[in-house]
């Protein structure tokens, strides 16, 4: 998808499920992200994340907000985020475990960039159920 970067230029960004997971993990681990106040985010360094551009980071934060995983506003920069939503916690609980996440990505395989988050969440939930002996 083409998005405007922070300087108004067009750049190409694709959904990266590893980055989505990383953002959720970092927000959950941040003690100030308890839902009581909103904080501004515009760069991956704002969450101590490295290896991604500002465009990739903002795009993925906006995805998480729009899908209801983050309590926030993605309309303007910096993005305002107060923490995870119930849905964000539920999704993260199923993908937190590294072996479950690895198994989920393996099952989805080459489709990981083409499969919806809801399908990835369903696969992760099935993998978690297998891990705890429910399937």
Three-state SS string over 10-57 comes to EEECCCCHHHHHHHHHHHHHCCCCCCCCCEEECCHHHHCCCCCCHHHH
Look-up: residue for tokens 């190409």?
12
Task: Tell me if 94 sits within 8 A of 67, measured CB to CB.
Answer: no
Q: At 89, is the secondary structure helix, strand, or coil?
A: helix
Average model confidence (pLDDT) across the chain: 88
Residue 3 has pLDDT above 80, yes or no: no
Candidates 68, 130, 120; CA nearest to 95 is 120
- Please report which confidence band the pLDDT of residue 8 belongs to, taking 50, 70 and 90 as the band edges: low
How many C-beta atoms lie closer than 10 Å to residue 114's C-beta? 9
Q: What is the pLDDT of residues 45-63, one digit of tens each?
A: 999 999 999 999 999 999 9
Residue 110 has pLDDT above 90, yes or no: no
Give the Å distances, CA to CA, from 129 to 6, 23, 48, 81, 105.
41, 24, 31, 31, 16
């Amino acid at each position: 998808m083409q998005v405007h970067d922070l300087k108004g230029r067009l750049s190409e960004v694709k959904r990266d499920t590893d980055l989505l997971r990383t953002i959720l993990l970092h927000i959950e681990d941040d003690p100030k992200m308890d839902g009581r106040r909103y904080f501004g985010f515009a760069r991956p360094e704002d969450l101590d994340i490295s290896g991604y551009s500002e465009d990739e980071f903002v795009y993925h934060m906006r995805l998480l907000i729009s899908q209801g995983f983050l309590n926030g506003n993605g309309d303007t920069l910096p993005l305002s985020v107060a923490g995870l939503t119930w849905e964000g916690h539920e999704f993260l609980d199923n993908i937190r475990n590294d072996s479950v996440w690895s198994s989920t990505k393996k099952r989805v395989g080459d489709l990981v960039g083409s499969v919806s988050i809801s399908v990835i969440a369903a696969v992760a939930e099935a993998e978690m159920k297998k891990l705890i002996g429910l399937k």
